Amino acid sequence: MVTTSSVAAHVQDQVVEDHAKVGQEAHDDDQQKQLNAGALFVLKSKGSWVHCAYHLTTSIVGPDLLSLPYAFAFLGWTTGIFCLVIGASVTFYSYNLISLVLEHYAQLGHRHFRFRDLAHDILGPKWCWYFVGPIQFLVCYGAVVASILLGGQCMKSIYLLSSPNGSMKLYEFVIIFGCLMLVLAQIPSFHSLRHINLVSMLLGLAYSVCATAACVYIGNSSKGSQKDYSLKSSTVSRVFGIFNANAIIATIYGNGIIPEIQATVAAPVKGKMFKGLSVCYAVVTTTSFSVAISGYWAFGNKAEGLILSNFLDDGKPLIPKWLIFMTNVFTMFQLSAVGVVYLQPTNEVLETTFADPTRNELSARNLIPRLISRSLSVMLATAIAAMLPFFGDINSVIGAFGFIPLDFVLPAVLFNLTFKPSKRSPIYWLNITIAVVFSVLGIIGAVAAIRQISLDAKTYKLFANV
């Protein structure tokens, strides 16, 4: 039996809860008003955990996973699969760690919208300005350059299918793809990309299925090269190759913009990133494992830096032309979404520098500087991609210098410094182990990547038509 007093108590509790909710919303509004133009216009906190899943998947599931069979050529079956599992496990764990740190500060009333802000408050200003900030810029802008380059390569592959003796060069396709990026870069905010990133997630699944099907088709036919899984290189080259391959795998799982993605989620943020990451990693593991295993099985140590290159033998397709065409089209369009996602930290810096937060974001005062600055940013990235068309080596450098510190090392350090777990607790030593091991791997991987570039430099030419 429900009494009058119990109903009154329930109503009173509901009123208190509503007041608390209104108070939280008012606090969030006040905090939003105090933000600079970059956070206010680019990192709008309006999304749900579903939108977060779209952003996360696009930022992680990119065409760089098509380099995994090439990484396996250095590692072999056992080590390759082991490294894939470790990469997926550690990054999923690390991304949840940094999400918990962000949630902790949000509950204290100080929500961080950028990676460098989080590093500034926990590690200090020097770490923010001389380590985290530059590394994140390297990762994100490098990913934009790589996306434009690979987009141009996909366009060239499509062109050669219809015109095998065509005279157009790679740099021309890179410029064309850069023009597409020039248009997409004008999308005002990260939150505005949610529908594009949903399509991107579906495209990532689509070209992974196409690439896997192509590898299985070639592997079961007599058209491909003879399968050879031996590691034939010298001991020194093999050691450096292993670390180079690990840098590629780090890039596959790399993100580098977890705080910026979490910033797009509407308050309260608690628990939303875990849901988004769970959806993301269901897609990540499906795509990466299927492409890596099928590609290495089909081509062995002949797997090239981009598995799509193995589908042609002296310009002759080893699979039906329509499948190559479809795979390249899906890859090309998904690359445009990946590039725009990794432009967001750059856009945020540009908005902070040139925009006026007291004026409307679509006013002429803010619109004209945005158009000019973002256009110049994309034009510079396109010029770099056209000049240096070596995707595999770029991938390794970005992974070693950027993704390993940001995604494997810093989350464990930030968590321990924030929550200060007991030195007797397993989580403390797990985090210390991850930070130390991956710091060493990052340093060695960076040396290996630079060594590989120096070895390949003999074949490098500016604006090469590779």
Across 101-118, b (16+ Cβ under 10 Å) vs e yields bbbebbeeeebbbbbbbb
- pLDDT level of residue 359 (50, 70, 90 thresholds): confident
Rounded (5°) CA angle 162-379-352: 140
What's 356's DSSP letter?
A: -
- Whether the per-residue pLDDT at 395 is higher than 70: the answer is no
**Amino acid present at 223:** K
463: pLDDT strictly greater than 90: no
CATH second-level architecture of 40-457?
Orthogonal Bundle (1.10)
Task: Give residue-wise pLDDT tens across range 401-449.
Answer: 788 889 999 999 999 999 999 999 999 999 999 999 999 888 887 887 7
Q: How far is CA 210 from the centre of its chain?
A: 21
- Between the alpha carbon of residue 154 and those of residues 179, 214, 278, 279, 298, the distances in Å are 15, 16, 30, 28, 21
| Of 310 and 39, the one with more pLDDT | 310
Query: Hey, what amino acid is at 118?
Result: L
Q: Which residue type is seen at 134?
A: P
pLDDT of 7 strictly over 70? no
Q: Angle at the Cα of 250 (from 245 to 254), degrees rounded to 5?
A: 150
What are 47's strand-pairing partners? Answer: 265
Under 8 Å between Cβ of 194 and 55: yes
Average pLDDT over residues 366-395: 85
Residue 305, number of CB atoms within 10 A of its CB: 22
* Model confidence pLDDT, tens digit, residues 184-208: 999 989 999 999 999 999 999 999 9
Q: What six digits make up the tokens of 33?
A: 């008003």
As a whole number, mean pLDDT of residues 16-35 equals 44
Enter the DSSP assignment of 317: E
221-230 mean pLDDT: 76
| pLDDT above 70: residue 3 | no
SS3 at position 227:
coil
In this structure, the number of other CB atoms found within 10 A of the CB of residue 189 comes to: 19
294-319 average pLDDT score: 86
Domain boundaries, the chain: 40-457
Q: What is the pTM of this model?
A: 0.87
- pLDDT on residue 21: 43
Q: With bands split at pLDDT 50, 70 and 90, how would you rate the model's confidence at 216?
A: very high
pLDDT higher than threshold 70 for residue 394: no
Nearest Cα residue to 57 out of 266, 236, 197, 259: 197
